[in-house]
Chain A
Amino acid sequence: MAIKSLTKLSGVMFAVVLAVGCTPAQDDQAAADAAAAAAAQQQQVVEKTPEQIAAEERQAQIDSAKMDVMNFGDTVFFDFDDAELKSESLDTLNAWANYLKVSGEKAVIQGHTDERGPREYNISLGERRANAVIGYLASQGVEAAQLEAVSYGEESPAIDGSNDYAWSKNRRAVLEL
């Protein structure tokens, strides 16, 4: 694409040089033709190909979707011993669904739990949470092949501590590109 534009640009410069090189007395018509040709060429440069336009629009979509993802964050939270999505998580998940659809990127969804209850059970619970996120993203049109669940159970707390605040922040699913 870039090379093509360069070729066109040099064509325009050539036409301009030709026009400047001609004397008005020689042939007004020839000069006018050259100017018209140059103008036409210039028009072609400004008028992008449909592919270009689509690509730029897509990039704009991706950029805006990425902004949304950054605004809404990468983490959703859960209740104790529960893998049901909360309604307040949907803004975050919709932003991610939109971004993954427009970008086609792959995401790993980490499932985490708080420290309460057995570790092995919590590994399964963490996977449930990751799968709940994946299920929702898929329902919004993200391809299954773009999504992978990895459960860390209670092994990777976001916040150390044995209190309600730490537990509420650790019961989470984290989306990662």
Chain B
Amino acid sequence: MKLSRVLAFIVVLVSSNVAANSDLIVEITRGLDDPTRVAVAPFGWSGSYALTEDVAQVVSDDLIRTGEFSPVSRADMLAYPALPQEVNIPDWRKLRAQYLVIGNMSPRGDRVALDFALYDVTAGRLVLTGEIERLRSDLRDMGHELANRVYEQLTGFPGIFRTKLAYIRAERDNLGDHIYRLVVADQDGHRERTVMRSRDPIMSPAWSPDGSELAFVSFDGGRPGVYRQNLLTGELTQLTNYVGLNSAPAWSPDGSKLAIVLSKDGDPEIYLLDVATKRLDRVTHHYAIDTEPAWIDNNSLIFTSNRGGRPQIYKILLDSGRLERLTFTGDYNARGRISPDGKYLVMVHRENGVFKIAAQDLATRRVHVLTETSLDESPTIAPNGRVVMYATRDGDKGILSAVAIDGGVRVKLPAAVGDIREPAWSPVLQN
């Protein structure tokens, strides 16, 4: 699959009935040269009421947004089959579709059932069928679930369409004063919800491993503290309020600890806070800056330190305290994240004075620069390990962008309002 550097097309995701509560618009700036052509026919509906979502469109948009697929436009379709007996494979071959998704929806009390089928048009055979049932109010989830199943069938990788993003939106009010919001939205930017709003900065959102909570830093009242907020109950708890820095929380994979950065003892150091007992253990001991912890597993962390003069990324084993420097290419590597398969270190990397997102192969130490913009920061990796989202600038606005971890596909998510920054990709969410 070769890359095309010029291919650029725009997918506007919002349909009229949801445009009001969706601010992120997805724009594919670079797709695959030979994307798989997939047709998603409009789904049948036998209910007596009108549906609030076009579920087939949700499925199609999810697939297209990966950059790995290209759509067959509805206007070109010769028929809209909803049931297997209505599918005429030659119709789809004429449109050069490689795959076809059909679906038929029916009411089931306050729920809706979707029977779907996926055809390999080239081979002329049915490859996947199934049923998905959801509440009437959860039809976007229904579409994301079907997109997950289709994506996994066609690529072999788990889909990430039912994940969420947390990010910070900074705006100015009509007096020019800052307003900061901690926001959670679906990975496609829909169903955005403000978790916290403040006149003081909010930073560093981090998901708990079960996706039910966020830890973050708030300067509410003028000084920083680490907080946690339960997304289901809304319960907000302040975890730290030490003199100096209270920064960069990161949840351990088992959910029992938060790695945080405190400077209460003089210099920025990494500590582990036991969430249940509130016990605090110091991890690093150095007069340099030690910050930006991220977990590899329950016994090891990476972090940024300028103990060598410039920021570089180090790894520390928690039981033995053994320390290892990981980055050697370039004079500024920071804010690392490890891919779920443990193969890549994704980080902010300065190249020729410009800040980019790069992936370092941990086995070979080779560094691949993934982005072509400048001022790129805050990389976060999708739970399937395939996509890196990051914050960058577009003109004078902060926006989110995404790039395949192999550098193949690039997607922009410009926001309608304000500066968007510090994306944090949720784990795979249950229900």
A-side interface residues toward B, CB under 8 Å? Answer: 81, 115-121, 123-125, 127-128, 148-153, 155-156, 160-162
Interface segment, one of B9-17, B130-138, B143-151, B241-249: B241-249
Please tell me if the beta carbons of B289 and A125 are within 8 angstroms of each other in the complex: yes
Please tell me if the beta carbons of A117 and B311 are within 8 angstroms of each other in the complex: yes
B310 within 8 A of A: yes
Q: Could you say which residues of chain B place their CB within 8 Å of the CB of A161?
A: 396
Q: Could you say which residues of chain B place their CB within 8 Å of the CB of A151?
A: 224, 245
Q: Could you say which residues of chain B place their CB within 8 Å of the CB of A152?
A: 201, 219
The interface on chain B, measured as residues whose beta carbon lies within 8 A of the other chain's beta carbons, has a size of 36
Please tell me if the beta carbons of B355 and A121 are within 8 angstroms of each other in the complex: no
Partner pick for A120 among B203, B310, B421, CB 8 A cutoff = B203
Given the interface pairs A155-B201, A161-B396, the reply to whether A81 lies near B245 with Cβ below 8 Å is no
Please tell me if the beta carbons of B219 and A118 are within 8 angstroms of each other in the complex: no
Chain B's nearest CB lies how many Å from the CB of A175?
A: 15
Q: Could you say which residues of chain A place their CB within 8 Å of the CB of B261?
A: 120, 124
B223 within 8 A of A: yes
26 cross-chain CB contacts under 8 A: A81-B311, A117-B348, A117-B355, A118-B292, A118-B377, A119-B204, A119-B377, A119-B422, A120-B203, A120-B304, A120-B335, A121-B291, A121-B304, A123-B248, A127-B244, A148-B243, A150-B222, A150-B223, A150-B224, A151-B245, A152-B201, A153-B203, A160-B396, A162-B375, A162-B393, A162-B396
Chain A's nearest CB lies how many Å from the CB of B181?
A: 14
Interface of A is mostly: mixed
Please tell me if the beta carbons of B289 and A116 are within 8 angstroms of each other in the complex: no
B378 within 8 A of A: yes
Q: Report Cα–Cα, A123/B225, bound state, in Å.
A: 13
Chain B's nearest CB lies how many Å from the CB of A84?
A: 13
Please tell me if the beta carbons of A156 and B311 are within 8 angstroms of each other in the complex: no
B334 within 8 A of A: yes
Given the interface pairs A124-B289, A128-B289, A149-B244, the reply to whether A118 lies near B335 with Cβ below 8 Å is yes
Please tell me if the beta carbons of A127 and B245 are within 8 angstroms of each other in the complex: yes
Chain B's nearest CB lies how many Å from the CB of A56?
A: 36
Please tell me if the beta carbons of B289 and A121 are within 8 angstroms of each other in the complex: yes
Interface centre among A116, A150, A155, A156 (most CB of B within 10 A): A155
Partner pick for A118 among B201, B334, B393, CB 8 A cutoff = B334
Q: Could you say which residues of chain B place their CB within 8 Å of the CB of A162?
A: 375, 393, 396
Considering only CB atoms, which chain B residue lies closest to A149 in the complex? B244
Considering only CB atoms, which chain B residue lies closest to A120 in the complex? B248
B344 within 8 A of A: no
Q: Could you say which residues of chain B place their CB within 8 Å of the CB of A149?
A: 244
| Chain B positions 364-379 with a Cβ under 8 Å from a chain A Cβ | 375, 377-378
Considering only CB atoms, which chain B residue lies closest to A162 in the complex? B393
Please tell me if the beta carbons of A156 and B201 are within 8 angstroms of each other in the complex: yes
Interface bits B240-279 vs A (CB < 8 Å: 1, else 0): 0001110110000000000001010000100000000000
Q: Could you say which residues of chain B place their CB within 8 Å of the CB of A127?
A: 244-245, 263, 268
Please tell me if the beta carbons of A120 and B375 are within 8 angstroms of each other in the complex: no
Q: Could you say which residues of chain B place their CB within 8 Å of the CB of A153?
A: 203
Q: Report Cα–Cα, A160/B224, bound state, in Å.
A: 22
Q: Report Cα–Cα, A164/B150, bound state, in Å.
A: 48
| Chain B positions 296-320 with a Cβ under 8 Å from a chain A Cβ | 304, 306, 310-311
Q: Report Cα–Cα, A134/B291, bound state, in Å.
A: 21
B99 within 8 A of A: no
Given the interface pairs A149-B244, A155-B201, the reply to whether A118 lies near B378 with Cβ below 8 Å is yes
Q: Report Cα–Cα, A162/B355, bound state, in Å.
A: 12
B119 within 8 A of A: no
Please tell me if the beta carbons of A119 and B203 are within 8 angstroms of each other in the complex: yes
Please tell me if the beta carbons of B348 and A123 are within 8 angstroms of each other in the complex: no
Please tell me if the beta carbons of B310 and A119 are within 8 angstroms of each other in the complex: no
Please tell me if the beta carbons of B245 and A124 are within 8 angstroms of each other in the complex: yes
Please tell me if the beta carbons of B311 and A121 are within 8 angstroms of each other in the complex: yes
Q: Could you say which residues of chain B place their CB within 8 Å of the CB of A120?
A: 203-204, 247-248, 261, 291-292, 304, 335
Given the interface pairs A81-B332, A127-B263, A127-B268, the reply to whether A119 lies near B378 with Cβ below 8 Å is yes
Interface centre among A120, A128, A160, A162 (most CB of B within 10 A): A120
| Chain B positions 163-185 with a Cβ under 8 Å from a chain A Cβ | 178
Q: Which 3 A-B pairs have the closest CB atoms?
A: A118-B335, A155-B201, A120-B248
Considering only CB atoms, which chain A residue lies closest to B250 in the complex? A120
Given the interface pairs A152-B219, A155-B219, the reply to whether A118 lies near B348 with Cβ below 8 Å is yes
Q: Could you say which residues of chain B place their CB within 8 Å of the CB of A117?
A: 311, 332, 334, 348, 350, 355, 377
Q: Report Cα–Cα, A125/B335, bound state, in Å.
A: 14
Q: Report Cα–Cα, A102/B292, bound state, in Å.
A: 40
Q: Report Cα–Cα, A155/B244, bound state, in Å.
A: 16
Q: Report Cα–Cα, A149/B224, bound state, in Å.
A: 11
Interface centre among B178, B248, B304, B377 (most CB of A within 10 A): B377
Partner pick for A124 among B247, B377, B422, CB 8 A cutoff = B247
Q: Could you say which residues of chain A place their CB within 8 Å of the CB of B268?
A: 124, 127
Interface contacts beyond A120-B261, A156-B178: sample of 11 additional A-B pairs, CB < 8 Å, sorted by A = A116-B355, A117-B332, A117-B355, A118-B335, A119-B377, A120-B291, A120-B292, A124-B291, A128-B289, A155-B203, A155-B219
Q: Report Cα–Cα, A115/B421, bound state, in Å.
A: 12
Q: Could you say which residues of chain A place their CB within 8 Å of the CB of B248?
A: 120, 123
Q: Report Cα–Cα, A123/B261, bound state, in Å.
A: 10
Please tell me if the beta carbons of A121 and B375 are within 8 angstroms of each other in the complex: no
Please tell me if the beta carbons of A123 and B304 are within 8 angstroms of each other in the complex: no
Q: Could you say which residues of chain A place their CB within 8 Å of the CB of B378?
A: 118-119
